[in-house]
Structure 1
Amino acid sequence: MAFDGSAPDGPQAQDAPEWLEADGLGGYASGAADGVRTRRYHALLLTATTPPTHRFVLVNGVEAVVETGDGRHGLSSQRYLPDVLHPDGARRILSFHRDPWPTWVFGLPDGTEVRHEVFVEPHGGETVLTWRRTAGPPGPCRLEVRPLLTGRDHGALHQANDVFRFDAEATGGTVSWRPYAALPAATALTTGTYRHDPVWRRRVLYTVERERGLDHVEDVASPGAFAFDLAAAPAVMVLRAGDGRSGDAARHAADLAATERARRGAFGSGLRGAAAAYVVARGPGRTVVAGFPWFTDWGRDTFIAMRGLLLATGRLEEARAVLLGWAEAVDGGMLPNRFPDSGEAPEFNAVDASLWFVVAVHDTLDACAAAGAPVPEAEAERWRAAAEAILGSYSAGTRFGIRAEADGLLHAGQEGVQLTWMDAITDGHVVTPRRGKPVEIQALWINALEIAARRWSDGWREPADRARAAFAARFAAPAGGLYDIVDVDGAPGAVDASVRPNQVFAVGGLPFPLLEGAAARAVVDLVEAKLLTPLGLRTLSPDDPAFIPRYRGDLVRRDAAYHQGTAWPWLLGPFVQAWLRVRGGTAAAKAEAAGRFLAPLMRHLDDNGLGHVSEVVDGAAPHHAGGCPWQAWSLGELIRIRRMLDLDV
């Protein structure tokens, strides 16, 4: 992706697209293409002290000013209250490119051009910044770079205070600062000369946080500045958390760049490279971050996303490692919904996460067998034991009223607890409680039973068949499609006829469809007619009085809209699979699907979180993106769609 800064929709636009550089440990660097930090999460050095959680911003950004014969010119930008841009480097951007990593070219009035690059080296977690003069008249060209520090939780904001320590420790080209004793130091290895000059930059304004109804002003600290002579050599700064690295900054940066170019080149495509960003360390194993910048690893998201991010890209060893790690977390026949960012006890409020694990096990076994790399018996046995423990507990009954009932279907629900993927909760109020027997939970339950019956024990055949028969008898809605819930709130025969996308899982998105023929076609046609948008499926039909067209405003308003009309890109994966299944998966159907459903998603890769797919979009046109700019299952399902359509990834 590239654009010219002079274009009306270029980097001076209010909502510039955003870039992400992940470190493989849960940390990341991120920012906007116009260089203006608009989120609390935009930072150059953001580290996970207990990967992939406990994430802290050490270096928010830098203030960069270049001086030539005709004066001083800013190469960076930041907004301050009331709405002042300073410095004004955004207007000097000639171009921005995201491949192989974020790269800007700035133009000065005298014809000088400066190329600025940023990348993160995964696993080591170092952020490399370089500036070089690439054009211009002879003469002086000096660069001053001020690091801007906070030392705060990545979800918080920082204010000037007397405890903050500006002290610098400088040795052999390395300068370190430790603003707060409880956090690792921020260290810079550079080719420049450091001048200690502590200052506060107060009232920094984050416009996206303001739009989200959150606190949006903070103070950042600059302990000093680095001076570089761009007329003599490029400027290099390597940032890292923890103890400093001595040595030649230019050589070290060049070595890291060569390694990174080779690593990224080996992916062979931008989608594969983007997929790698979500796969991170958790202890000795691997897991999948649900989305950047604020999510950690969620069970539901992990098992859905890994099918595209890992299985469809051939990263089978990592898929196995993910499943092994999660299999160890089974407790009471359930897997955690998530591990909180601050390290508290795991949360188990998800009826579907454990069932998605069983599906992921099945898909991984199939993928490994197809690749001629069967899973070792001992490993497969651990997966089986975890899966059957889940099915056994669900059959007998476990937390939150989760239990198989006499008809074979799965009941789930407890007052005040959100258990399905439609999980928004505000001030203790569950927006979409969905207590009873939700349609996609039955599809998952029956698929999990079918998997167990085919792979592990004939004892699961009778419950699988009983549940399938009950589903066929109970979920067909007279108006067409399927009920969203039966036995609502535990009341026998009570139904919720809301037109939602969850019914699509009876036809697509899972290994074994529950419907065929006209019944399947009716579901797909209804979902297409009422819920399809260019970038996802709406969570509620616009015909419903409860439909909310925009995902906007403060947290309460956004949570109210989250599953009440907002569209989700990840749902296009199950939908496209269902759409193809009812058309026999013909070449003509695949060609039509590529143009109608895949093409808009591919264009979206350049619109919001560059190279990635957003978490949500508005249910109403023009379908502005919201939520996380970089969402794991959204990208994973795009990749899976490409595989369905026999396209390269």
Structure 2
Amino acid sequence: NAIGGYASGSIAGCATRRYHGILLAALHPPVGRTQLVAALDEIIDCGGKSYELAAHKWASGAVAPQGFQYIESFRLDGTIPTWIYALGDARLERRIWMRQGGNTTYVRYALLSGSSPLEFHAKALVNYRDHHSATHAGDWQMRVASVNHGVGVLAYDGAAPFYLLSAEAAADPRHIWYRDCFFQAERERGLDDHEDHLFAAQFRAAIELGKPFTLVFTTDENTLLDGDSALSEQLAHDSGLLAAFAGHPSTSKTNSDPAWFPQLVLAADQFVVQRSIPGEPNGHSVIAGYHWFGDWGRDTMIALPGLTLATGHPETARQILLAFSKFVDAGMLPNNFPDAGGKPEYNTIDAALWYFEAVRQYLEATHDMATCEKLFPILAGMIEAHVAGTRYNIHVDPADGLLHGGGPRVQLTWMDAKIGDWVVTPRTGKPVEINALWINALETMVQFAKTLQLPVERYETLSAVAKASFAKFWNSDRNCCYDVVDSPGIGNDASLRPNQIFAVSLPFSPLTEDQQKAVVDVCRTELLTPVGLRSLGPHEIGYTAHYQASLVNATLHITRARSGAGSWAHSHWRISASTRTRPRRAAFSNRKGKQLICTASAPWRKSTMGNSPSRPAAALL
């Protein structure tokens, strides 16, 4: 809904995760995600027979009802999930979508064919909880009361009220707890796997040919209730996205683009959210991944070119860059903004470095020198803060010009799994991709300074020293890069990981062409899977091919085997088919189409099993 909220579920209609629901509202956009409407249990009376369309699995093991048996088809109409149910001689269409910029979900029903009208009944099951948690209601009494066009719910004093509405259907308040709904995926994750939902409203309506009707679930009592107008609004939004992609000169389009390519343009937009801050009321950010991630600095900067520039929205890219510039502190960009609100956290060594690359790609696409001039002093200050030293022992080593960071109980790179005080993959020292990014940032500053006719010697000197010292990353025994050098108590870490691919893919590579080819070859041979790169070579100590059950095992898997990446995955991570015949740095060039494909595909696969079959293991399912 462009502010961090979402609606999510399975095609079958059975919730398998705590994150599934019809309305998960961002009460403090783009964070504060709260489940308000968990499910809608529809019952259709047709020709003397009742059809229950919903599906639930219960803690007892029972699956009831089993409405999935009536699904004739499912499709996406733009961004709108659309089901058709076969109910006797009737065919009923259901659509679900959210209103852009508001915590409002629409569920629209239309009778496509049938010999007589249908009688519609539906139970709205509600909740009020953080989307990471589960409800065990006990004797919890919510306030449920009739309001104009429906039912209002207040979970407790101080809670945000929300509404279950319809301009066409009658609605009566209820207060009955449904206990022990079961979440299969949470059981597999080793987490609380069942919860309670409150049956809060009963809807009734007749469904006739040519007379669709809509249920509306919202935090805005005065929201638009006209389902036809709301549907037209959403379809126009989707059409506008595709028109921007087709018409903007910064996008790459060819006659050979596959037919499903426009769907990726629409998917990309779902990650871009509003983040208004003082001085930047039109600020934007990027949700790092649905369901459980908020907006993260690293993910935002890596995904920015694919989500905005490749889709024809350079102004959105500019707004994101300016918004994040307001959060630069001690030369660092935030790692993330807590979902519960509050101050951003800065435990990242690479978010700031990815900011340089995002700005570079924006300027390359737009030639917006006014923004370059505005951001240059901020970027210059970030360089000096890293040279002098900043949080978490992040500093340039004066002995070799390379960037060092980390310490006990701190995880600073993208491999940031942590269980209690245990950092699974600490990577303290000088990580390979961090120093490739550092050199890239320095070379980018050389470009910017020349363009703005400012002194360049400082950045040229820093870059020359770092590039010369990057040679210590080369592991001649394995013909690839060390993952970390100068790690306290370890020395050089020879673990085969995909991080070295950044030293090939970034525009200013510190490797020779032969070294670039060797890195591509080893990544293709040892790490490549059908869905991305493994995070650890299969012959390395600690490699885990499959995981299941506990959160500890799941967390370990993220840095010990998984393939693929999150919403920030783009061409830096992916090895194209051309590497089979042309394994050079060009295979990793930032072609906009490839950025878009890899970025927009992310909602479907956050991580997968390391070995075949590469089953998705943490995704929007």
Distance 1:122 1:345 in 2: 26
**Whole-angstrom CA distance in 1 between matches of 2:122 and 2:569:** 44
Which residue of 2 is the match for residue 17 of structure 1? none
1:46–1:154 Cα contact (<8 Å) kept: yes
Give RMSD over aligned pairs: 2.7
The CA deviation at 1:601 is 7.2
Q: Distance in 2 between matches of 1:484 and 1:111?
A: 63
Partner of 1:179: 155
Displacement of 1:197 after TM fit?
3.3
Would you say the 8 A contact 1:327–1:386 is kept in 2? yes
Q: Which of these residues, 505, 508, 520, is aligned with residue 524 of structure 1? A: 520
Q: Deviations over 1:592-620 (max 9, x none)?
A: x99xx999979x96xxx8xx441111110
In the TM superposition, 1:38-187 aligns within 5 A as 38-100=16-78, 101-108=80-87, 110-138=88-116, 140-171=117-148, 173-187=149-163
2:339 corresponds, among 338, 341, 360, to: 341
The match for 1:368 is 366
Cα distance in 1, alignment partners of residues 387 and 476 from structure 2: 27
Question: Structure 2: where are the runs of 5+ without partners?
Answer: 243-261, 450-454
CA displacement at 1:146 relative to structure 2 = 1.0
Show the counterpart of 1:498: 495
Give the match's secondary structure for 1:468.
Answer: helix
In 1, Cα distance between equivalents of 2:4 and 2:473: 44
Give the conservation status (yes or no) of the 8 Å contact 1:324–1:382: no
The answer as to 2:443 corresponding to 1:450 is yes
Query: What residue in structure 1 maps to residue 379 of structure 2?
Result: 387
Given that residues 184 and 242 in structure 1 are in contact (C-alpha distance below 8 angstroms), is that contact kept between their aligned partners in structure 2?
no
Once residues 618 and 599 of structure 1 are traced to their aligned partners in structure 2, the CA distance between those partners, rounded to angstroms, is: 24
Contact 1:74 1:88 in 2 (8 A): yes
Partner amino acid for 1:178?
A: L
Q: TM-score, normalization: structure 1? A: 0.85
Cα deviation digits, residues 78-118 of structure 1 (max 9, x gap): 1112122222211111111122311111112x322211111
Question: CA–CA distance in 1 between the matches of 2:295 and 2:32?
Answer: 12
Q: How does the TM-score come out when normalised to structure 2?
A: 0.89
**Within 2, Cα distance between the matches of 1:162 and 1:155?**
22
Q: Indicate conservation of the 8 Å contact 1:535/1:601, yes or no.
A: no
User: How far apart are 1:585 and its partner, in Å?
Assistant: 9.2
**Change in CA separation of 1:589 and 1:276 when aligned onto 2, cut-off 3 Å:** closer
Query: What do residues 342-391 of structure 1 show as CA deviations (whole Å, max 9, x unaligned)?
Result: 1132211111111111111111111112xxxx24x2x3333212211111
Asked if the contact 1:516/1:582 (under 8 Å) is kept, the reply is no
Residue 119 of structure 1 and its aligned partner are, at CA, apart by 0.9
| Structure 1 residue aligned with 2:248 | none
Contact 2:533-2:574 at 8 Å conserved across structures: no
Between stretches 532-541 and 124-133, larger displacement belongs to 124-133
Could you tell me how far 1:195 is from its partner in structure 2? 2.6
CA contact (8 A) 1:52 1:282 kept: yes
Most deviating of 340-349 and 410-419: 340-349
* Structural mapping, 1:124-523, within 5 Å: 124-138=102-116, 140-171=117-148, 173-190=149-166, 191-231=168-208, 233-245=211-223, 249=225, 252-268=226-242, 269-283=262-276, 284=281, 285-369=283-367, 374-375=368-369, 377=370, 379-405=371-397, 406-456=399-449, 457-458=455-456, 459-489=458-488, 494-508=491-505, 510-523=506-519
Whole-angstrom CA distance in 1 between matches of 2:73 and 2:320: 39
1:582 CA displacement: 10
Give % identity: 34
Report deviation, 1:572: 6.5
Q: Does 1:620 align with 2:617?
A: no
SS at match of 1:188: strand
Cα offsets for 1:381-427 (capped at 9, x unmatched) = 33212211111011111111111111111111111100111110112
Structure 2 contact 472–485 (Cα < 8 Å) conserved? no
Q: What does residue 255 of structure 2 align with? A: none
CA contact (8 A) 1:77 1:90 kept: yes
Show CA shifts across 1:518-573 (max 9, x none): 11111110111100001010011101121111243221111111111111246672
8 A contact 1:175–1:244 mirrored in 2? no
Q: Could you give the per-residue CA deviations for residues 478-525 of structure 1, whole angstroms, max 9, x where no partner exists?
A: 22111111111277xx211111101111111x2212223211111110
Conservation of the 8 A alpha-carbon contact between 2:111 and 2:208: yes
Structure 1 residues 599 and 181: alpha-carbon distance in aligned structure 2, compared to 1, 3 A threshold: closer
Note if contact 1:115-1:132 (Cα within 8 Å) is conserved in structure 2: yes
After TM superposition, give the deviation of residue 72 of structure 1 in Å: 1.3
Contact 2:410 2:423 in 1 (8 A): yes
CA contact (8 A) 2:6 2:23 kept: yes
CA deviations 1:165-199 (Å, max 9, x no partner) are: 2421322x243222223222221331111233322
Deviation at 1:309, TM superposition (A): 0.7
Give the structure 2 partner of residue 644 of structure 1: none
| Distance of 1:548 and 1:214 partners within structure 2 | 21
Q: CA deviation at 1:475?
A: 2.8
| CA distance in structure 2 between the partners assigned to 1:209 and 1:585 by the alignment | 41
Q: What is the distance in 2 between the residues matched to 1:211 and 1:384?
A: 48
User: What is the aligned partner in structure 2 of residue 5 from structure 1?
Assistant: none
